[in-house]
Amino acid sequence: MNFRTPHPFPPVILDDVRGAQKMLSGVARMTVMEGSRHLSELVGAPVHFKCENLQRTGSFKLRGAYVRIAGLSPVERAAGVVAASAGNHAQGVALASALLGVRATVFMPVGAPLPKVAATREYGAQVRLHGQVVDETLAAAQEYAQETGAVFIHPFDHPDIIAGQGTVGLEILEQCPEVRTIVVGIGGGGLAAGIAVAVKAVRPDVRIVGVQAAGAACYPPSLAAGHPVVIDGLHTMADGIKVGRPGDVPFGLVQELVDEVRTVSEAELSSALLLCLERAKLVVEPAGASPVAALLSDPRSFRGPVVALLSGGNVDPLLMQRILTHGMASAGRYLSLRVRLTDRPGALAALLASLSVADANILDIGHVRTDPRLGLTEVEVELHLETKGPVHCEDVTAALRQAGYEVTA
């Protein structure tokens, strides 16, 4: 999707990003870039991961937060700063404030993952839990700013934030000068806007592709309308890009400089996260894995060399467990089926023997005897199996049918 409108007075330019890079020297790490053999084979060209999941605080957010807070006047610093976030921005603001000697208050939703709350406190911020969703938390933080005079640090809708995030783009050009496509997740748009500003000013031929979760995709309708619009009913595991409205400042830059915005499904996100963990040995949160999901969904549509930005790695262990299960199911690593048997001694043992020959691992098994569709001497066995992939699933099902079993999904 490509919508372009001239932007006569860009709020952020290359010099701003270069200034932010100098400011961040010794603060933010130049994160590593790792090649992905598996994705390179799928795409037909080199694919590299830019590993911002290994940045201090576990995401790119420190970059923008530090530049924004460092730019405050002495009077503003004395008043302190306040932010609202479910995780990554909270930690970025907390650490940036600690490094700059500024008092920070961070509002987080009541249900925010405990590891993220604990990390934010450990970086030195005062944490206040308020609201069930981020919108309620955001309103509380803005009210606090009005009451106390603290400076509100927006997660994406400010030129300093965008300039700070744009330093990722300068690093990509330095680490992979031959890059032809950069794929980046989009929430409010600060990261994509900053990268686009930096990269397009130096290499206008590089294609910038933004990625949103299909259940929280505010940019496609906004770009179609020509201005930011609000979408309701956000549903995605990728909380880092779960934003209902583009930021005013980044929207114009994304509209002008980002070549395309794609969406990915929840199944594609979980499969991407699983790939990062299994193939690259990298812990990546769902939002950070969104560029990988886009590459997996249509690999041959990307011109290489490709850099996929892994924007963060802060994922709650409980959520990780659920996502990995979902990802394995999406990748065909789980198989659920029902088999009808004659209810007699030895029937189940024979079925299990057939599964053993097919090399399927049984995770769970259950019996159904009370279904009115069953005959008097029949029982239905429900099986949950661990397999080696889609082809193995087909082989297991075929082996059971060849053995004479009636198999239903």
Q: Is the peptide bond before 305 cis (omega within 30 degrees of 0)?
A: yes
83 closest CA partner among 158, 179, 25, 24 = 158
Q: Which conformational region is residue 233 in: left (phi greater than 0), alpha (psi within -120 to 50 degrees), or beta?
A: left
Tell me the helix, strand and coil percentages in the chain, rounded to 5.
Answer: 45, 20, 35
On the CB side of 315, CA atoms within 13 Å amount to 28
Report phi then psi at 377, rounded to 5.
-105, 20
Tell me if 316 sits within 8 A of 115, measured CB to CB: yes
208 closest CA partner among 155, 246, 168 = 168
Quick check: is 85 catalytic?
no
Rounded to the nearest angstrom, the gap between the alpha carbon of residue 199 and the centroid of all alpha carbons in its chain is 22
Determine the Cα–Cα distance for residues 275 and 42; give it in Å rounded to an integer.
13
Annotated catalytic residue, options 36, 222, 290, 311? 311
Annotated catalytic residue, options 50, 61, 116, 242? 61
The count of residues in the chain is: 409
Dihedral sign from CA coordinates of 250, 255, 258, 263: positive
Quick check: is 388 catalytic?
no
Determine the Cα–Cα distance for residues 356 and 55; give it in Å rounded to an integer.
45
Pairing of strands 306-310, 181-185: parallel
366 closest CA partner among 402, 401, 341, 396 = 341
Tell me if 49 sits within 8 A of 32, measured CB to CB: no
Tell me if 400 sits within 8 A of 354, measured CB to CB: yes
- CB count, 10 Å around CB of 178? 8
Tell me if 30 sits within 8 A of 60, measured CB to CB: no
Determine the Cα–Cα distance for residues 131 and 74; give it in Å rounded to an integer.
32
Longest Cα–Cα distance in the chain: 83
- Give counts: helices (H), strands (E), the chain: 16, 14
Rounded to the nearest angstrom, the gap between the alpha carbon of residue 92 and the centroid of all alpha carbons in its chain is 17
Residues serving a catalytic function are 61, 311
